[in-house]
Structure 1
């Protein structure tokens, strides 16, 4: 399994990178995970829009899904009869986004596969198991398993005992770490810190950790240091172009 980071910033894109977005590949299948703000440009620098085989969206906040709309435009305006792109997302979470365009323009470009967080399904070579994790809107953390390894991804989440099960023995845990340590009261229960990620990664026995969704202006080395207080494995911060190759 090969994971390429398209962006790893939380809330809004910066001059240097976009928001959450990951290209996950195995056996020639290309799964786009969370096409947040400003992730479609680095994606298209690597492959054409029609080469994406499926999309997984953890939740409907635009820093995790907004660039699905230009991706669909790129598919339908390049090829007026593109193959319908399967888009997996919590039921109803993309309704507002998919309604913003010219009526009918992208209707044939996608096939919406809504699910309830907690359900499991197959996406190409990946077995996807999801968990309902605490956030302001319906958020589905996902564990992707294939012969090439196990990837766990939290989306955005507050504290939950399910995070340990999600990350159990995963080859790579990509985890939201908006804050370094202390979480402001207004975000408590709905977002995570790097220090918390370190604690549940250690309990889960995850083999490596990639911190993502850092609040703009956060020093990456501070986030890594906070996670390492409890977790002894490899820790890095998601940055555009970073590649991780998992082997079983």
Structure 2
């Protein structure tokens, strides 16, 4: 299993960057997770839109799903459109994005599939388990396994025992850390700091942690430093670059 990161900004993409967007590949199958703002141009540097086999969306905030619209356009508006794209998401999470277009071609371009709390589904070679995590809107963290490798992704969520269990002994935890040290009162319990992310990673016994959804304009090094003050090791920031292997 391999992971390519296209972006890791929270809320909106900073200049030259993108919001959440991750491509997970195994045995030639390509699973796109959270096509947020500005992800599609970066995806298209790597693969054609028609080469994406399925999409997982953690929740309905646009910084996690807005680029589903141009992705579907890039697939539908061609001479020979590919098969409908399976899009796995919480109930209603992508309705607003799908409603942006009334073209008949777009309705034929997508196959929505509802993900549920505690659900388990096979997506190509991947075994995907989902769990509801605390956020402003319904957010499903996912545990994605193939072969001997496992990645857990939180979407956006406050600290929760369900995430610890979802990430138990994973090779990689890709976890939202909107702020380095503390979450403002109005978002407390619904977003994570880098400190809280590192504490959950330690409780889950994960091998490696990548912090993502960082507030635009803040220094990524501050997030890693905050996480390391908890005693955490093997912590980094999700940064765009070539696909990297997950696990052994």
- Aligned partner of 2:83 in structure 1 is 83
Which structure 1 segments of 5+ residues have no match? none
Aligned-partner Cα distance in 1 for 2:5–2:190: 23
Deviation at 1:80, TM superposition (A): 4.5
Aligned-partner Cα distance in 2 for 1:63–1:105: 25
Deviation at 1:114, TM superposition (A): 1.2
| Secondary structure in 2 matching 1:106 | helix
Aligned-partner Cα distance in 1 for 2:185–2:195: 16
8 Å CA contact retained: 2:7, 2:21: yes
Superposed CA deviations along residues 194-225 of structure 1, whole A, max 9, x for unmatched, are 00011111111100011000001111111001
Q: Is residue 2:15 matched to residue 1:22?
A: no
8 Å CA contact retained: 2:115, 2:130: no
Deviation at 1:232, TM superposition (A): 3.3
Deviation at 1:115, TM superposition (A): 2.3
- Aligned partner of 1:152 in structure 2 is 152
Aligned-partner Cα distance in 2 for 1:131–1:76: 31
- Aligned partner of 1:106 in structure 2 is 106
- Aligned partner of 1:129 in structure 2 is 129
What does residue range 45-56 of structure 1 map to in structure 2 within 5 Å? Answer: 45-56=45-56
Moved over 6 A (4+): none
Superposed CA deviations along residues 146-186 of structure 1, whole A, max 9, x for unmatched, are 10500000000012111211111110100000000111111
Q: Is residue 2:43 matched to residue 1:43?
A: yes
RMSD: 1.2
Superposed CA deviations along residues 94-138 of structure 1, whole A, max 9, x for unmatched, are 111100113423011110001222211111101000110001111
- Aligned partner of 1:188 in structure 2 is 188
Deviation at 1:244, TM superposition (A): 2.5
Aligned-partner Cα distance in 1 for 2:118–2:79: 35
What does residue range 159-238 of structure 1 map to in structure 2 within 5 Å? Answer: 159-238=159-238
| Secondary structure in 2 matching 1:37 | coil
Deviation at 1:92, TM superposition (A): 1.0
Aligned-partner Cα distance in 1 for 2:95–2:86: 15
**TM-score, L = length of structure 2:** 0.97
- Count matched residues: 248
8 Å CA contact retained: 2:159, 2:197: no
Aligned-partner Cα distance in 2 for 1:210–1:165: 17
Which structure 2 segments of 5+ residues have no match? none
Superposed CA deviations along residues 15-40 of structure 1, whole A, max 9, x for unmatched, are 12100000000000000000000000
Deviation at 1:72, TM superposition (A): 0.2
- Aligned partner of 1:12 in structure 2 is 12
**TM-score, L = length of structure 1:** 0.97
